[in-house]
Amino acid sequence: AQSVTQPDIHITVSEGASLELRCNYSYGATPYLFWYVQSPGQGLQLLLKYFSGDTLVQGIKGFEAEFKRSQSSFNLRKPSVHWSDAAEYFCAVAGPGGGNKLTFGTGTQLKVEL
Amino acid sequence: NAGVMQNPRHLVRRRGQEARLRCSPMKGHSHVYWYRQLPEEGLKFMVYLQKENIIDESGMPKERFSAEFPKEGPSILRIQQVVRGDSAAYFCASSPPEGARNNEQFFGPGTRLTVL
């Protein structure tokens, strides 16, 4: 069965600093990978996704993520964090070829210090 | 184009009552997914429906929970005889037919259910 691990429950960074949120997955083949952001009391917004091709994907709000098959990782990065980026971030995996359910990690809560 | 709509946004029920959660997918989307988010946890898949069909209900509890997506109207997640452990945020997501193949799902704002 597929699974997702986000090892960092909470992360605090200063505004303007760089950010990397870790995500490791377990899946038998090349998965479809996603990063979502959730602001308090809100639904989830898709930041970026990886299906195939270039392993470095660009998303919205200046985020990017890199798929590393050898490490089973899909870490999210941003070179300079803004105070408005404070939110909870979820990594998710789904199987290709019609496996429609998303399996989510437990999330990383990002706090941004001014 | 309006996004995925869910109502109510907040729902309070006493133990033993029924809860009905509604989800209207984005225009043109015919696939609906329900997820549950317990406090301090990630989202867990519950059920995947297309119009008038349940495609995958592997994440649904065996008792008290049911879901439907009729030909007309919103998708409904129904919880009978609620218990305190049902308190959670319930999210609906939708995707277009072509999106279902690559799992791009668009999420609604959620319904936060509190069972007293």
Confidence of residue A95 (pLDDT cuts 50, 70, 90): low
Measured distance CA(A88)–CA(B35) in Å, rounded? 17
> Is the Cα dihedral B88, A65, B94, A104 positive or negative?
negative
Cα(B109)–Cα(B5) distance, integer angstroms: 7
Confidence of residue A105 (pLDDT cuts 50, 70, 90): very high
pLDDT band for position A51 (cuts 50, 70, 90): confident
Contact A23, A105 (CB under 8 A): yes
Q: Using an 8 Å CB-CB cutoff, list chain A residues near B99.
A: none
Residue B3 has, within 13 A of its CA and on its CB side, a CA count of 15
Residue with more model confidence, B42 or A79: A79
Burial (0-12, 13-18, 19+ Cβ within 10 Å), B75? buried
pLDDT at A42: 80
> What pLDDT is recorded for position A53?
86
Q: Which residues of chain B have pLDDT under 50?
A: none
Angle at A99 between CA A93 and CA A105, to 5 degrees: 20
CA distances from B46 to A69, B22, B36, B90 (A): 28, 15, 7, 10
**Residue A35 banded pLDDT, cuts 50, 70, 90:** very high
At A43 the pLDDT is 84
Which of B43, B90, B112 is the mutation pick for testing A, counting most A CBs within 10 A? B43
The CA-based angle B90-A76-A26, given to 5 degrees, is 70
Give A96's pLDDT tier (boundaries 50, 70, 90).
Answer: low
Contact list in B for residue A43 (CB cut-off 8 A) is 4, 6, 91, 107-110
Is the separation of the CB atoms in B44 and B59 below 8 Å? yes
Whether A97 shows a pLDDT value over 60: the answer reads no
Q: What is the pLDDT of residue B100?
A: 60
Most A-contacting residue of B103, B104, B107, B113 (CB-CB within 10 A), to test interface: B103
Provide mean pLDDT across the span A28-36: 86
Cβ contacts (< 8 Å) between B93 and chain A: which residues? 44
Nearest CA in chain B to A32: B102
Assess whether pLDDT exceeds 60 at residue A98.
no
- Cβ-based contacts of B43 with chain A (< 8 Å): 44, 90, 92, 102, 104
CA-nearest residue of chain B to A97?
Answer: B101
Q: How far is CA B67 from the centre of its chain?
A: 8
Higher-confidence residue: A63 or B105? A63
**How close B22 gets to chain A, by Cα (Å)?**
15
Residues whose CB falls within 8 Å of the CB of residue B46, separated by 6 or more in sequence, listed in order: B33, B34, B35, B36, B57, B59, B60, B65, B67, B77
Among A34, A43, A101, beta carbon nearest to B91: A43
Nearest to B109 among A32, A42, A51 (CB): A42
* pLDDT at A62 exceeding the cut of 80: yes
Helix (H) or strand (E) holding B102: helix B99-102
